[in-house]
Amino acid sequence: MKLSVQGLNSHYGPAHILFDVALEVGEGEVVALLGRNGAGKSTTFRSIVGLVAQRSGRIVFGGRDVSDRPTHEIVRSGLGYVPEERRIFTDLSVEENLEVGRQPQRPNAPYWTCEKLFTLFPNLGEMRHRAGGRMSGGEQQMLTIARTLMGNPSLVLLDEPSEGLSPKIVEQMVAAIQTMKREGVSMIVSEQNLHFARLISDRAYIIERGRICFGGTMAELDARPDIRDAHLSL
């Protein structure tokens, strides 16, 4: 098992947000975390990487218990996190943004270079000297993912990668995620868009009001339109 989360409970101040969240990602697997606005997708990711102060539960990544480790240590152990907000450096060029994310090569994870990432995201290669602030939202989204890959993670948490993208850019994003998977990157991809999730993932979890209410293959989910209609807005 690449990542295992058990009994995750998270709070923001007095508000209890996540209730006994449990999920698993196998080696090389792509898993979708589906749920409506405010369901708890981002909080789940933030909790896994140690960005939620009040959390309890057990998080095992690559065979190591990281439940109480600080964020920088978790990320340096090969767990990449691409937040919902695109946090690129607007004054730095595409190449410079990528350099910021560079970490040493690590065993059991694919190794990325700028050139390899420009093959993964061809339009980033065409604008390698452009300032980050002069890129479209979709291009910035790709740059954020590419910068995370410069850290050579073995698993990546991708928070709503298709959000706000044009259909053409969505297509490129699907292709990039499929290539990342082929290269051996395990992923959890949070999504509201079931069609996008279906194109990239092996399995899916549905989260609603901080609770996991479904876990299964995409085929199992397709066989349960009742669950889909109750917990996802399509």
Tokens representing residue 10 in the block = 């998270």
Using the rule CB under 5 A, is 42 a contact of Mg ion? yes
Using the rule CB under 6 A, is 79 a contact of ligand ATP? no
Using the rule CB under 6 A, is 75 a contact of ligand ATP? no
- Pick what 122 binds: ligand ATP, Mg ion, none; C-beta below 5 to 8 Å, kind-dependent: none
Q: How far is the CB of 117 from ligand ATP (least distance, A)?
A: 26
Spell out, one character per residue from 18 to 37, where the chain touches ligand ATP: x when CB under 6 A holds, - when not. -----------------x-x
Of 84 and 95, CB closest to Mg ion: 84
Distances (CA, A) of 150 to 37, 42, 95, 100, 103: 30, 22, 11, 8, 6
Question: 127: which residues sit within 8 A by CB, 6+ positions away?
Answer: 94, 135, 139
Of 91 and 229, CB closest to ligand ATP: 229
DSSP 25-73: E-TT-EEEEE--TTSSHHHHHHHHTT--SEEEEEEEETTEE-TT--HHH
Return the SS3 of 138. helix
Question: Which of the residues 95 through 134 are near Mg ion (CB under 5 A)?
Answer: none
Using the rule CB under 6 A, is 233 a contact of ligand ATP? no
Q: How far is the CB of 18 from ligand ATP (least distance, A)?
A: 8
Q: How far apart are CA 212 and CA 15, in angstroms?
A: 18
Q: How far is the CB of 44 from ligand ATP (least distance, A)?
A: 7
Asked whether the beta carbons of 135 and 116 are under 8 A apart, the reply is no
Q: Which listed residue (16, 20, 38, 91) binds ligand ATP by CB under 6 A?
A: 38
β 30-34/186-191 pair status: parallel
Using the rule CB under 6 A, is 43 a contact of ligand ATP? yes
Using the rule CB under 6 A, is 40 a contact of ligand ATP? yes
Q: Give the up-direction half-sphere exposure of residue 176: CA atoms within 13 A in the CB hemisphere.
A: 28
Residues in touch with ligand ATP (CB under 6 A): 12, 15, 17, 35, 37-43, 84, 192
Q: Which residues bind Mg ion (CB under 5 A)?
A: 41-42, 84
